[in-house]
Amino acid sequence: MSAKQTDSYFELAEDGLKTCEILFREDQFRDAVYNAQQVAERVARALLTHANKPFGTSHNLAQMAEALPADHPLRPRIKEFDNLSPAATKYRYPTPSGRLVDPPQVSEIRKALDGLTTLLRDAKSYVYGPQPSTSVTPKPKGSGS
């Protein structure tokens, strides 16, 4: 598997984390949780690609963690986000009766986003070596570059 693919998964995870922060700030909690799941999945897929471990189309984060080598240092960290696995579909569609499922508590979403920020940083450090500290908070409009 290619380094370019790993890079692309990380880029998508970074973009997704920015999207999560915007959605969270705008009280769009269902979409923030869905996107948080996607961030965790993209980090997991980057690590799987880097480890040369092909993985199918499942969105289950515990399964992805299990597919990493048993001694992979980030394997347990990916598993910690398995509670987000159902968000791949749970908050995107109404139930058969037409009801929308309530998102998790705001504090749980904030904790997940903070944890994903750390996971992404640590995963990139694992693959590329130590990274300079960066923020995923979007720049204010009109701030220039």
30 inside domain: yes
Which tokens sit at 1?
């598997």
Q: Which domain holds residue 66?
A: 3-128
In a domain, residue 111? The reply is yes
Cβ contacts of 30 within 8 Å, gap of 6 or more: 91, 92, 100, 101, 103
Closest CA to 112 of 9, 61, 40, 41: 40
Residue 59 lies in a domain: yes
Contacts of residue 122, defined as CB under 8 A and 6 or more positions apart, other chains included, come to: 74, 77
Tokens found for residue 126: 């694992």
Each residue's pLDDT tens digit, 102-132: 999 999 999 999 999 999 999 999 999 986 6
User: Distance between CA atoms of 58 and 40, rounded to whole angstroms?
Assistant: 13
Q: How confident is the model at residue 133 (pLDDT cuts 50, 70, 90)?
A: low
The tens digit of pLDDT for each residue in 54-98 reads 898 889 999 999 999 999 999 999 999 999 999 999 999 999 999
Please state, in angstroms and rounded to a whole number, the distance separating the CA atoms of residues 115 and 79: 12
With a cut of 70, say whether residue 135 has pLDDT above it: no
Rounded Cα–Cα distance for residues 39 and 17 (Å): 6
Residue 139 lies in a domain: no
Count up the domains in the chain and report the number: 1
Q: Which two tokens stand for residue 87?
A: 């968000």
Residue 138, in any domain of the structure: no
CATH code assigned at 31: 1.20.120.330
